[in-house]
């Protein structure tokens, strides 16, 4: 899990130290959360080398815990932030970006399949789009990509290629790339995107493999590529929409 404290002590430590802190709860599982060092359980306190007194907690309530692996996110424990506040925040549109090289084959198909398979209210709360690491603007999807989508009842004739920009990367909540090389290129120019850029097959299916570029290949190459993308999108939808 990730903690987002607003107390000045941990915030100043991370800011001045230039690193993140690996922390645990101040209580054992099932025990009450202490609001000061004096309330620590003896079992826990005897295993601590240093206690830094930063004053009492600012709010005096437990932190809220949200499981962000679900879409929409689920509230596991209501704390200082109410369920209404979290629900309001989660109404924000999620931004999912698919990335390939030229944005004329793989990523447009991934975008189109995701739009088709993601139904109902969840899709309505998403921005699903695509871009290419070396794409030139305004090009149509490749003829064979268009044909593969047409076989699935999806029309991508209106697609136009879009270059990937740092702004696009910054605005996306989740970036799914077709090759490891795409991830390296993105992180080279946008290191802060480290935690949101993933290989599509790995994120969706747990398979650390690229989806090879079919550009210039045979219809069979395109068919295999499309099948891999569709399987990955189905895995992605299951992963983000479970329960």
CB 180 within 8 A of CB 199: yes
How are beta strands 174-177 and 126-132 bridged, if at all? unpaired
Beta bridge partners of 77: 65
DSSP symbol at 26: S
Beta bridge partners of 163: 132
**Whether 160 is catalytic:** no
Of the candidates 100, 105, 183, 225, the residue annotated as catalytic is 100
Of the candidates 105, 106, 183, 225, the residue annotated as catalytic is 106
Burial class (CB in 10 A: 0-12, 13-18, 19+), 122: middle
**Whether 212 is catalytic:** no
**Whether 213 is catalytic:** yes
Of the candidates 116, 212, 213, 234, the residue annotated as catalytic is 213
Of the chain, the end-to-end C-alpha distance in Å amounts to 19
Q: Which residues are identified as catalytic?
A: 100, 106, 213
């Amino acid at each position: 899990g990730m903690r987002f404290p607003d107390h000045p002590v941990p915030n100043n430590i991370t800011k001045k130290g230039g690193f993140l802190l690996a922390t645990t709860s101040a209580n054992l599982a099932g025990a009450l959360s202490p609001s000061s060092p004096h309330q620590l359980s003896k079992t826990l306190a005897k295993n601590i080398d240093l206690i830094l007194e930063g004053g009492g907690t600012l709010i005096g309530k437990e932190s809220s815990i949200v499981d962000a692996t679900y879409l929409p996110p689920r509230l596991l424990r209501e704390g200082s932030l109410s369920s209404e506040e979290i629900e309001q925040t989660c109404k924000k549109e999620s931004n999912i970006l698919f990335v390939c090289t030229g944005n004329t084959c793989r990523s447009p198909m991934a975008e189109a399949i995701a739009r088709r398979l993601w139904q109902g209210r969840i899709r309505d709360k998403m921005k699903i789009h695509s871009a290419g690491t070396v794409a030139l603007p305004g090009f149509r999807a490749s003829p064979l990509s268009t044909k593969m989508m047409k076989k699935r009842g999806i029309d991508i004739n209106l697609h136009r290629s879009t270059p990937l920009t740092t702004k696009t990367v910054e605005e996306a909540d989740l970036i799914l790339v077709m090759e490891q090389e795409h991830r390296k290129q993105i992180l080279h120019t946008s290191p802060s995107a480290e935690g949101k850029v993933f290989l599509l097959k790995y994120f969706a299916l747990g398979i650390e493999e690229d989806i090879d570029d079919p550009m210039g290949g045979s219809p069979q190459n395109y068919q295999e590529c499309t099948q891999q993308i569709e399987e990955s999108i189905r895995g992605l939808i299951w992963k983000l929409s479970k329960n």
